[in-house]
Structure 1
């Protein structure tokens, strides 16, 4: 039996959760609360970086959300692949996975970390720079999506890249909205209507109260 060590609020944990729900793969969710010493010690034993998610499958222990999804696609595949067999198509999927992690998730995490600091230690310049990065990422994604078919996902069929996009856009939009980008906004709406994404959001809902930008989350996701 697969075990996923995760936290429902953590955006990088949403990626493999979406993949698992897409595939209909049975797994045991193991919530890790780093405020609890035993949980923190458990996660450190599994992965010395003490970061989630971590997947355990018998003797195999894998960290890193993208790697976990690659592993699931190889060893516990669902009805459709999340990384295409065609190498060229797979490159596009991996490109957009990296795009959302590096150019949306990373700025979001910097902004959240700043918000969690005491007021006296907050850095307005860093926050402004991270929002500028988000603006550039929104423009790049908007251009790409505007050139795609209306019902297309970010790299064609639903894939690893879309698993990365949903949490990145969910939290980025709560902090620095992208309403001015219609193709990106429509894509995000379609993502959140995906049943696998809906299950992830539902599981995270009780924890949204701890997100420092909770007021930016759309009311439909809080109800």
Structure 2
């Protein structure tokens, strides 16, 4: 039975699940979620996506989906490093990109969703300041460390995180390593495909999608 992924092309966490599938050429069916989708309401405890179906197995949360694919549908892209120590670093950086880039940027997005004309300034400031802090931390970390080869769990988390975060708060000029990583990841075929598939939905971006990327 073919894998089925439920999600939306503009969703950052859906990208995270799509990238490993594209990178390894894994056969799957993509089902775009529509408002009020009953399956997602039952499959995910909070009614969120993405959700991966593999026969009778249901996997939710994007990180868990990448881990599942690494175990049950491996390919040429080693999603999880074979070395246990390197795998720990990969999982740590996965959490960094989700929690301190993607979720921090979401604070600003949520403020604009709540009130596009007058977003909560405290919420916007918290999100933008948090992104600048994360950019600075990552710039320093990259000066002393290296990420696993693409495409890994880190790639899957970093791609949507840095893509959308830079729309919310531009990567500063003094964070050259971070900007270079973003450009490098966006050039990967699996990531570029996600970017292109999401183009028709850019009007959904509550801050107004910039005319770039």
Q: TM-score range by the shorter chain?
A: over 0.9
Q: How does 1:10-29 map to 2 (within 5 A)?
A: 10-29=11-30
Residues 6, 124 of structure 1: alpha-carbon distance in 2 compared, 3 angstrom cutoff: same
Aligned partner of 1:204 among 193, 198, 202: 198
Q: State whether residues 14 and 200 of structure 1, in contact with CA within 8 Å, keep that contact through their aligned partners in structure 2.
A: yes
Residues 217, 133 of structure 1: alpha-carbon distance in 2 compared, 3 angstrom cutoff: farther
Q: How does 1:23-62 map to 2 (within 5 A)?
A: 23-34=24-35, 37=36, 39=37, 41-62=38-59
Deviation larger for 182-191 or 110-119: 110-119
Shift of 1:120: 7.5
Q: How does 1:89-108 map to 2 (within 5 A)?
A: 89-108=86-105
Q: Distance in 2 between matches of 1:163 and 1:217?
A: 24
User: Which residue is 2:149 aligned to?
Assistant: 157
Shift of 1:93: 0.2
User: Which residue is 2:108 aligned to?
Assistant: 111
Q: State whether residues 174 and 217 of structure 1, in contact with CA within 8 Å, keep that contact through their aligned partners in structure 2.
A: no
RMSD (Å), alpha carbons? 1.5
TM-score by length of 2: 0.94
Shift of 1:132: 1.2
Q: Distance in 2 between matches of 1:179 and 1:196?
A: 26
Q: State whether residues 116 and 207 of structure 2, in contact with CA within 8 Å, keep that contact through their aligned partners in structure 1.
A: no
Deviation larger for 79-88 or 91-100: 79-88
TM-score by length of 1: 0.90
Query: Where do 5+ consecutive residues of structure 2 fail to align?
Result: none
Shift of 1:140: 1.0
Deviations 1:92-114 (A, max 9, x none): 00000000000011111111111
Q: State whether residues 171 and 178 of structure 2, in contact with CA within 8 Å, keep that contact through their aligned partners in structure 1.
A: yes
Deviation larger for 191-200 or 44-53: 44-53
Query: Where do 5+ consecutive residues of structure 1 fail to align?
Result: 149-153
User: Which residue is 1:176 aligned to?
Assistant: 169
Shift of 1:168: 0.4
Q: Distance in 2 between matches of 1:215 and 1:80?
A: 31
Residues 2, 172 of structure 1: alpha-carbon distance in 2 compared, 3 angstrom cutoff: same
Q: How does 1:72-83 map to 2 (within 5 A)?
A: 72-83=69-80
Q: Distance in 1 between matches of 2:183 and 2:44?
A: 34
Residues 10, 215 of structure 1: alpha-carbon distance in 2 compared, 3 angstrom cutoff: closer
Q: State whether residues 173 and 216 of structure 1, in contact with CA within 8 Å, keep that contact through their aligned partners in structure 2.
A: no
